[in-house]
Amino acid sequence: MNDFPDLSTIFEKYPTTILYPQIDQFLELSLPLQNFISIYLPKLHLSNSGALLSHLSKQQKFISKLSPKSISILPFKPSAKIEFVSKKNGWQVLANPSKLSRSLEDKLNFSMLAGGILPLIPHQIGQLSADFFAKAQKEYGQKLVIQTHFGWAGKSTYTFDSYTQASATILPQTTVKIMPYYRGITYITNNCITRWGQILGTPGLQIDNLPQYSTNPFATVGRQWPSYLPKSMENKLNSLNSQVALFLKKFSFRGFYGVDYLLFQDQFYVLEINPRLTASTNFYNHLELGLNHPTTLYWHIAEFLNIDLNRSKFDFSPYTSVTLSGCELTPKNHLGQTVSKTWLQSPPNTSFPPKYYF
């Protein structure tokens, strides 16, 4: 039997206050820790977490209340601004360096790094032009998928049947990634690489292509656990998920991250890696809180706080085999912005393949 430590108690005795700078109302994070504070100031209309922390650093009355404890910043996504403000104020950032995170989150750069190592959808990278588009159509078919460098929840992924459509949306000569259109099923995992071993999360089903929830077929409008993958398919996905962890460790990546996978014609492809907290982190943490082991996010915090657990290794296999149950729905507007968030105790899709329309 695995003897996991009580990380909640350890954190609350640790001489630090953990601050989570929240910019988006739907990227909330609720942790039942006495020394955790989520900072959300929507009336200031700040554009990013770095700007929020810069504002916070000037609120001496608030900062003095946290003394003599140190301050640790738990960002949704690391950035140079967060690092600059934190270094200036002597705060610790509980995240990977922003340069590393950004290089892995860049969809085009990730494809170049992972090509030949991980199974990716066939693709070409080049400057958008009529000739480049025509050559891709000749190889991949009439309907193409095009991605630009950055964007999440489907905001930088498009499908086009003609160059005229593509050039009306994406500026010609922009460097893009072009792929065939594979209409498959998307699955996700939330994971964590630590000095005590790697946590490989149990697969969940990503919900997309719901016209009543978004006009963008690539927009993520929810997720659910369990995935209801057949056992043989789940084993294949778990094996690939382990390969992704080994890939990330080559870059000295550590901590929490998410992976999106596409199942198409019985083949799993790695769509992207989210080298940071994910849109599902809060919900996933909520599902894990009822289990007999620390949540995946808590291991991320322990990793970056450099906590000594008097152990060199833990058996994290229960995190892969555990059965989680619940669904989170996040409809989007025409701009791709989340307009609401709903949690369901029971997952709506209980078959394979899933019935998306419910």
296 inside domain: yes
Q: Please indicate, yes or no, whether residues 157 and 200 belong to a single structural domain of this protein.
A: no
Q: Which domain holds residue 14?
A: 7-97
* Residue appearing with tokens 């085009």: 108
- Domain shared by 188 and 175, yes or no: no
Same structural domain, 89 and 173: no
- For the whole model, what pTM was predicted? 0.94
The reply to whether 109 falls in a domain is no
Burial of 230 (0-12, 13-18, 19+ CB in 10 A): exposed
Task: Tell whether 147 and 191 lie within a shared domain.
Answer: no
Per the structure, the count of domains in the chain is 3
Whether 216 and 321 share a structural domain: yes
Query: Which residue's entry shows tokens 């820790």?
Result: 33
Same domain, 31 and 151: no
Pair 321, 279 in one domain? yes
Residue 43: DSSP 8-state: G
Pair 91, 176 in one domain: no
CA 20 – CA 40 distance, rounded (Å): 9
Q: Are residues 40 and 164 in the same domain?
A: no
Reported as a single tens digit per residue, the pLDDT across 71-130 is 999 999 999 999 999 999 999 999 999 999 999 999 999 999 999 999 999 999 999 999
Q: What is the CATH number of the domain that holds 137?
A: 3.30.1490
Shared domain for 196 and 302, answered yes or no, is yes
Give the chain's largest Cα–Cα span: 65
Convert the pLDDT of each residue in 223-253 to its tens digit. Answer: 999 999 999 999 999 999 999 999 999 999 9
Which ranges of 28-129 would DSSP assign to H, the alpha helix? 49-57, 60-66, 80-89, 98-105, 107-114
Same domain, yes or no: 334 and 257:
yes
Which of 33-37, 177-181, 307-311, 348-352 shows the lowest per-residue confidence on average (mean pLDDT)? 348-352
Could you tell me the two tokens for 225?
């656990």
